Amino acid sequence: MSTPLTYWDYLRLDDLLGLQGGVGEEAADVSADELHFIIVHQVYELWFKLTLRELRLARDHLAADDVPEEHIPLVVHHLRRVNSILSLCVEQMRVVETLTPQDFLAFRDKLIPASGFQSFQMRELEIVMGLEDAERVRLGGHLPLEHIQKLATRSAGGHDAWGRIERARAEGSFLAALRTWLYRTPIRGSQPGQAGDDAVVAGFLDDYLRAGDAASEASMGRLAAALESQRAEVSARVAASREANRAFLAAEDVDDGERAHHRRVRAAALFIESYRHLPLLSWPRLLVDQVLEMEQQMVLFRHRHARMVERVIGRRVGTGGSSGVDYLDATGKYRVFKELWSIRTMLLAREALPELSEQGYGFARGGA
């Protein structure tokens, strides 16, 4: 008879609990502070591992040629798990903050030049989400990713780190899958490829911008009455914001060849967010909410990490050689799902929305 499975065998606890000895010394010699530092980082990396798995599953459902309606709850399910983990990652910085600056200084020098810069899983996460190299903060003209590229070939354990980055780059991103899905969203009952779809989309956007202008006219009137002395300044700001909305919905920032595609993607995001109260849009809107939540948690993680770093090491240079907190704060500006954020700026109150005809309720989502 075989021996019954135990909790410790199933979880391979002997292996797992034998991995906190640091490098180059006996496990027993690692101080309590350093043990804490190692465990916290390992726990983060385990959460990153699961986050990557879930994000890739969500992406694969969404990237299919045909996304049946019943697959949207699956995407939402995976993203919910991602978001629960990421919010825990934000909160977990509290544990790191129990390390006083001097506790950390006691072992910090031996980490140089190792750094969170080399967390290849964090880089994979950014890449699979859809962060482009062009959007990354550069260090003296170099991408922080080069830390992995240069060191991976030399380090003892991390030789595949760069391979993982390259493989992540070769996969389609979650952002690309989301855009493909948004592109196929019926708008006022019309689907891409259907006769007259371009005109339906253009009509929706025109109506929306007109309703937006009327709404901003009304609030501008109230604002100007309250801030008479700043009337010219406020009206210039409102006019600039309207123009920015129009240019964004027309996808003027996108190359000619891709403009029509992006215009439809943006119109779809606007349609889902605006008519989110319609029962037929309830799953699409939950999906969009989860994507926004995911990006918000990433931004919060970056801010929370930077505040923790400021508390523990002040504004000194990082072990990876960056400017430290200034660099980390600059990364807080990353936004992958730009269209979803931009649309928030132009949403209208429900009673100000252009009305939907009966056909606008049709929400059959077919294949491409």
Q: Which of 186, 320, 354, 360 binds ligand HEM (CB under 6 A)?
A: 320
Q: By the 8 A CB rule, do 101 and 313 touch?
A: yes
Q: Which of 278, 300, 312, 347 binds ligand HEM (CB under 6 A)?
A: 312
- Judged by CB under 6 A, the chain residues 265 through 304 that form the site for ligand HEM are none
Q: Does 319 bind ligand HEM (CB under 6 A)?
A: yes
* Look-up of token digits 């978001």: 83
Q: By the 8 A CB rule, do 357 and 283 touch?
A: no
Rounded to the nearest whole angstrom, what is the least distance from the CB of residue 346 to ligand HEM in the complex? 30
Residue 252 CB-density burial (10 A; 0-12 exposed, 13-18 middle, 19+ buried): exposed
In DSSP notation, 176-198 reads HHHHHHHHT--BTTB-TTSTTHH
Question: What's the gap between Cα 218 and its chain centre?
Answer: 34
Q: Does 322 bind ligand HEM (CB under 6 A)?
A: yes
Rounded to the nearest whole angstrom, what is the least distance from the CB of residue 326 to ligand HEM in the complex? 10
Q: Does 94 bind ligand HEM (CB under 6 A)?
A: no
Q: Does 158 bind ligand HEM (CB under 6 A)?
A: no
- Judged by CB under 6 A, the chain residues 4 through 63 that form the site for ligand HEM are 40-41, 44
Rounded to the nearest whole angstrom, what is the least distance from the CB of residue 120 to ligand HEM in the complex? 10
Rounded to the nearest whole angstrom, what is the least distance from the CB of residue 27 to ligand HEM in the complex? 20
Q: Which of 34, 117, 271, 287 binds ligand HEM (CB under 6 A)?
A: 117
Task: Give the count of alpha carbons within 13 A of 270, CB side only.
Answer: 31
Rounded to the nearest whole angstrom, what is the least distance from the CB of residue 133 to ligand HEM in the complex? 13
Angle at 149 between CA 143 and CA 150, to 5 degrees: 100
Tell me whether residue 313 or residue 356 sits nearer to ligand HEM (CB atom): 313
Task: Give the count of alpha carbons within 13 A of 300, CB side only.
Answer: 16
Q: How far apart are CA 118 and CA 223, in angstroms?
A: 49
State the residues that interact with ligand HEM by CB under 6 A: 40-41, 44, 96, 99, 104, 115-117, 119, 122, 144, 305, 309, 312-313, 318-322, 324, 327-328, 331
